[in-house]
Amino acid sequence: MILTLDVGNTNISIGAYDGDTLAFVSRLATDRSRTADQYAVELRAIFWLNNTNGEDFSAAVISSVVPELTAAVSSAIERVSGIKPLIIAPGIKTGLNIQTDNPAQVGADLIAGAVAAAAKYPLPCLVVDLGTATKISVIDSRGAFCGCTISAGIGISLEALYSRASQLPGISLDTPRRVVGKNTIDSMTSGTVYGAAAMIDGMCDRINEELDTPVKSIVATGGFAAGIVKQCKHDVIYNGELLLEGLKIIYERNK
Question: ∠13-124-206 over CA atoms, to 5°?
Answer: 95
Q: In whole angstroms, give the CA distance from residue 175 to residue 162.
A: 19
Please confirm, yes or no, whether 140 is among the known catalytic residues. Answer: no
Residue type, 18: D
Helix (H), strand (E) at residue 39 = helix 36-49
Closest CA to 77 of 172, 132, 142, 2: 2
Closest CA to 131 of 116, 161, 110, 106: 110
Strands (E), the chain: 2-7, 11-18, 21-29, 59-64, 86-87, 125-130, 133-139, 145-152, 217-221, 237-238
Q: Which of 109, 129, 140, 174 is catalytic?
A: 109
What single-letter DSSP state applies at residue 98?
B
Is 136:149 a contact under the CB 8 Å cutoff?
yes
Strands (E), 19-172: 21-29, 59-64, 86-87, 125-130, 133-139, 145-152
Catalytic residues: 109
